[in-house]
Structures are given as structure tokens and as C-alpha cells.
Structure 1
Amino acid sequence: MFSTYTPRHMLKLSAEYDLTEGALADWSFGGQLRAMSEFSSVSGTTTIRAQGYGVVDLTAKRRLDENTDLRLTVSNAFDKDYYSRVGGTTVFNFRGEPRSVSLALTRRF
């Protein structure tokens, strides 16, 4: 028996491809799919259901030199609206993070 508070099925797929030749040498491109089946919460006689969802993250990375990378990440690329948690009729219902973009510079010493 599974808890209704957590999804019964969860899937996370990630891939990244490094380009080594041509005009895009030193670039890497990747993505991630996070998918969850529906889940629910029971509050008294009320059941609150959250639909299953899938979220796609995309990334591009450029190697600047042997020790430095620049990475651009778009999380929730398609701006999917979803609940990451449900609790009761008035509390603990959290929407998932909307689309966000981040840029990171990594230097290895």
C-alpha cells in the first residue's frame, strides 16, 4: 500500500551531450525530465488531489578554459503550473516553482 501523500510513480531522466568538434566545440547541451503521478491529501472528510505533472529543465554549458565553465539553466522551461505538495483545505498547498533562468560561472582550483 502506498501513501497518498507521495506520488506512486516518479521518473527522472537526464541527458547531456558534449560537443568536441566544429563551431560548437567546448559546448554541452542537456535536459532533464521530472515526472510524477497524481497524489492527494485527506483532511477530515475532504480529499485534495494534485494532478500528475512533468517538468522539463534545459541547460547549455560552455567550457571557457581548462578550469572554467559558464552554464545557463532554464528550470521548468515550459512554465508548467503544478502543485508540488498538497495538505489541507487551507494550509500546506504549495505550487511548484515557475520558470526560472540561472547563469553560473564555475572555476576549479
Structure 2
Amino acid sequence: MNVWPDIAAPSSMSGGIFDPLDEANMETGDDAARPRFSVPRQQPMRLEWAAMSYADFDALVAFHANQRSTPFLWVRPRTGAQWEARFVSNAITHNESRDTPGRLAVQCTIQPIRRVE
């Protein structure tokens, strides 16, 4: 399994877990909830870099091109937890700014599949 490229850590990440309950609202106004019978999955994780270098951007784009449809090993920067992950259908987006010449604001989304122990 390929490993996430050696680029600077994201400046921000957002994600979460799916709710482990199925809920339903009835026409009477009542509601019901039951546990799901499958393991709760992680929501897609949005990775953002406020000022990524062009070299790191090129490495990320090349990695995305090679790994678009296959899982890879991703290490969460703050905790060091290892995850099997894949890219989701959102493309890598970037913005150039006059405020940070030579740098790009970059966003991409990955889907954590399972934690690697």
C-alpha cells in the first residue's frame, strides 16, 4: 500500500463520524431511533493548506493521479494514528493569492476507511 506523500501537514482539517443511530420521524410527530447494525464510518476529512509550496502541490497532484482509485496509508499529523484512506470524488482545489507569492491555498478531501493498528 502506498503512503501519503512527504509534504507539509495541513493547516486545518475537518471531519467527524457518522451517527451510529438510525432515526425516523412519524406522521404523528413521534420519533424513533435504533442502533445501526454496521460499524459507524468516519465522515470524509477535508484537508486544507493555507500556504502550500508549489513543490508540495506538485507532489500532492502526482500522488492523487496515481492513487485516485486505490487506498493508501495516511498518518494523522497531530496524533500519529495510521489510517487506510482513499481520495473522494472532489478534485484538489487551489487558489493563488497576491498576499502569499510562491504559495497556494489548497484543499482536498480523503475518506478514512479503517484505522490501522
TM value normalised by structure 1: 0.29
The structure that is helix-richer by fraction is 2
Higher relative contact order (CA 8 A, sep 6+): 2
The structure that is strand-richer by fraction is 1
Q: Which has the larger radius of gyration?
A: 1
TM value normalised by structure 2: 0.28
